[in-house]
């Protein structure tokens, strides 16, 4: 029996992982530690354990950059899809089945969204995917991908739209302004078709939706004042201080993302759970469960933010979405990031005043913020894609010449050019001029 999503509050599971450029080696074959805890936590919702209705899984640094820019990500994303789908179903509490709603990848950023078959997967329509690059010349070494779909309402109503965005923004603590610019670029260029075709032909931004979920390696850092007691400690002493939740709660006040949200410069209208409840997700030593690298100050780089159409645009800390779980998963040690997972319980669908309404309810935004599509979005996206392919393929050739190392490939290439030039001068140069 298929249950209407209007019959209950939808449960959304969101997972994100920067896999450190490892391709098919980036995940263990057993994903229980990452995907199963949310299913166990969902038992708090009712007497019986409940599986999520929607599962969204995002990746950053999906595979080595020369392969990502060259567009060789299809096999990796297909491998991810089959593994994740099998693990979701294998660990579903009541053997629920799921279907892939959509998948999208741009260079190393990927997003896969699944729906539960007996609640909404068979009713979903208007599925759309999109991508954009925020790297140099709009390349895809950084950027975002998105999935949007509509869940129809009962009795022919428009229902509600869901938009999921997975992003990888500019790295390094001192590049805060670049991250802010990245977010604005994503809002302006990650565009979808008009919400209601009969209203306007203009594309819509990620905010033109009933529910918005934004996840990924957003790369915002802890920026502790130089004279703060923790700033005076060595990195490893600082890392040990993060074991204490009260200390983490104090440190959250120096989190760049939280500060900028309060200032209204990024993620306008979006909300977040208590990220300080878990330890910083970056930067770990490879192969270690709980040891940070001394090369970077620990930070909460990996995040999930969200909003629903019934949220008030004037309250930063209040949302009608219930955050049931928000945590990192320390057990994966092949990346310098830890994966994160979030479980969100959406508010009950609001019956429209007019059942035949053709326009889904939209997010309400602060009065000072009005996101607008970039008129040159398509041009910028494909300029970036062109640079991706040219640079990626050249890089790929150099890696082949270097037997897996681009540096050796460059050396071999230069040696080859030098040898050819020498041979040409000895054997094929111009004849001497007679006097």
pLDDT of 199 strictly over 90: no
Q: Where do the structural domains in the chain lie, given as residue ranges?
A: 5-375, 377-428
Look at residue 350 and give its three-state secondary structure.
coil
Q: How many CB atoms lie within 10 A of CB 427?
A: 7
Confidence of residue 92 (pLDDT cuts 50, 70, 90): confident
Lowest mean pLDDT among 1-5, 92-96, 260-264, 307-311: 1-5
Q: What is the pLDDT of residues 321-330, one digit of tens each?
A: 999 999 999 8
CA separation for the pair 384, 380 (Å, rounded): 6
Residues 142, 183 contacting (CB under 8 angstroms): no
Position 381 pLDDT exceeds 50: yes
pLDDT value of residue 81: 94
The DSSP letter of residue 116 is: E
Q: Is the pLDDT of residue 292 over 70?
A: yes
Looking at the DSSP bridge assignments, the partners of residue 327 are 341
pLDDT in tens, 233-261: 666 677 788 899 999 999 999 999 999 99
User: Please, are residues 89 and 46 in contact by the beta-carbon 8 Å criterion?
Assistant: no
Residues 6+ apart with CB under 8 A from 251: 222, 224, 230, 242, 276
Task: Provide, for the chain, the percentages of residues in helix, strand and coil under a 3-state DSSP scheme, each rounded to the nearest 5.
Answer: 35, 20, 45
Indicate the range of 63-72, 258-267, 272-281 predicted with least confidence: 63-72
pTM reported for the whole predicted model: 0.90
What's the rounded Cα separation, in Å, for the pair 216 and 174? 19
Q: Is the pLDDT of residue 42 over 50?
A: no
Can you tell me whether residue 152 is helix, strand or coil?
Answer: coil
Residue 235 is predicted with a pLDDT of: 62
Class of domain 5-375: alpha beta
Residue 294: per-residue pLDDT: 87
């Amino acid at each position: 029996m298929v249950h209407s999503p209007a019959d209950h509050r939808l449960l959304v599971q969101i997972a994100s992982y920067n896999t450190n450029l490892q391709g098919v080696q980036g995940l263990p074959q057993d994903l229980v530690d990452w995907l199963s805890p949310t299913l166990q936590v969902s038992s708090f919702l009712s007497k019986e354990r409940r599986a999520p209705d929607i599962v969204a899984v995002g990746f950053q640094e999906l595979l080595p950059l020369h392969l990502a820019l060259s567009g060789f990500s299809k096999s990796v994303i297909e491998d991810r899809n089959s593994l994740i789908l099998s693990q979701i179903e294998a660990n579903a509490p009541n053997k629920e089945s799921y279907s892939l709603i959509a998948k999208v990848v741009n260079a190393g950023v990927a997003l896969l969204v699944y729906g539960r078959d007996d609640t909404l997967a068979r009713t979903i329509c208007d599925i759309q995917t999109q991508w954009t690059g925020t790297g140099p010349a709009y390349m895809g070494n950084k950027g975002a991908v998105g999935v949007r779909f509509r869940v129809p309402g009962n009795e022919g109503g428009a229902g509600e739209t869901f938009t999921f965005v997975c992003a990888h923004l500019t790295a390094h603590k001192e590049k805060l302004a670049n991250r802010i610019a990245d977010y604005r670029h994503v809002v302006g260029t990650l565009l979808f078709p008009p919400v209601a075709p009969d209203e306007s032909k203009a594309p819509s931004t990620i905010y033109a939706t009933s529910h918005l979920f934004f996840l990924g390696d957003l790369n915002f850092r802890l920026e502790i004042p130089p004279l703060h007691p923790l700033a005076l400690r060595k990195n490893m002493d600082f890392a040990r201080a993060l074991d204490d939740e009260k200390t983490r709660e104090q440190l959250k006040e120096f989190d760049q993302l939280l500060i900028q949200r309060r200032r209204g410069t990024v993620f306008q209208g979006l909300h977040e759970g208590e990220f300080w409840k878990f330890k910083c997700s970056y930067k770990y030593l490879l192969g270690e469960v709980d040891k940070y690298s001394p090369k970077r100050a620990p930070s909460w780089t990996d995040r999930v933010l969200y909003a629903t159409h019934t949220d008030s645009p004037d309250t930063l800390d209040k949302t009608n979405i219930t955050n049931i779980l928000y945590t990192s998963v320390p057990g994966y040690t092949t990346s310098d990031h830890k994966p994160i997972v979030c479980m969100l319980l959406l508010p009950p669908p609001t019956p429209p005043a007019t059942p035949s309404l053709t326009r889904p309810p939209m997010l309400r935004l602060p009065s000072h913020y009005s996101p607008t599509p970039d008129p040159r979005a398509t041009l910028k996206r494909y300029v970036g894609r062109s640079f991706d392919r040219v640079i990626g393929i050249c890089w790929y050739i150099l890696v082949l010449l270097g037997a897996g190392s681009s540096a050796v490939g460059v050396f071999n290439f230069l040696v080859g050019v030098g040898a050819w030039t020498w041979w040409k001068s000895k054997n094929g140069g111009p004849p001497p001029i007679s006097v």
